Copies of this chain bind each other. A is one copy, B any other.
Amino acid sequence: MQIMKLPRVIGRLCEKFERLPGVGPKGAQRIVFYLLHNPESELQDFAEKLIALKRETCTCEVCHNIAESNPCGVCEDMSRERNVLCIVEQPLDLVAIERAGKYAGVYHVLHGCIDPLNHIGPEQLYLFDLMRRLEGVEEVIIATNPTMEGEATALFIKEMIKKSKEGEGIKVTRIGHGLPVGANIEYADGVTLNRSFEGRSEL
């Protein structure tokens, strides 16, 4: 007696989904069997969008944001303040800041942060061409994540700017850390609470 296995194409597609972040082997199987109940035209459409992903996007060569045009919408926008530069880890961070709607300067996307455990050093990031963009900049706002790696990256960037000739006289700031709006002091973790005391401001 032969043991019935899944059709090979199902296994191969499961492997593809399995590798995506947040999808495990069980999740991948569930997705593939869900897709089996979709019409073929829907799968065709999905496949086309997948192929179009790289073809219809590009990396802005000024700020390294993922965009439809090069330079991207922010870098092209003449109404943006060019003397303020915000450094973010990922394009999604940029989108989040844009969605908040207050920041009017330009950006620089690192595409990661310094993370020695995962073999990501400053060379793997868009860090060094940041120096070429410092002319005319008055303030660099470092908006990397408040994680260990993000903090280390922020310190590294600060040192790099301070020590360089291009960085002379530039104010380097870090986004504020503390309690998120709507949070509860009772349930806040100690590190965040301490940060909110350090970052207190006069009323």
A residues neighboring B (CB under 8 Å): 1-10, 12-13, 16, 20-23, 27, 29-36, 40, 43-57, 65-68, 72-74, 77, 79-80, 90-92, 94-95, 98-99, 101, 104
Do A49 and B13 form a contact, CB below 8 Å, given A22-B27, A40-B54, A43-B54?
yes
Question: Can you name 7 extra interface pairs (CB under 8 A) apart from A4-B74, A29-B92?
Answer: A3-B99, A4-B65, A5-B95, A13-B53, A16-B45, A35-B50, A40-B54
What does DSSP make chain A's interface, helix, strand, loop or mixed?
helix
Q: Could you list some 12 contacts between A and B, CB below 8 A? A: A1-B77, A1-B79, A5-B98, A6-B66, A7-B67, A8-B68, A10-B53, A16-B46, A21-B27, A21-B34, A22-B30, A29-B92
Count of chain copies: 2
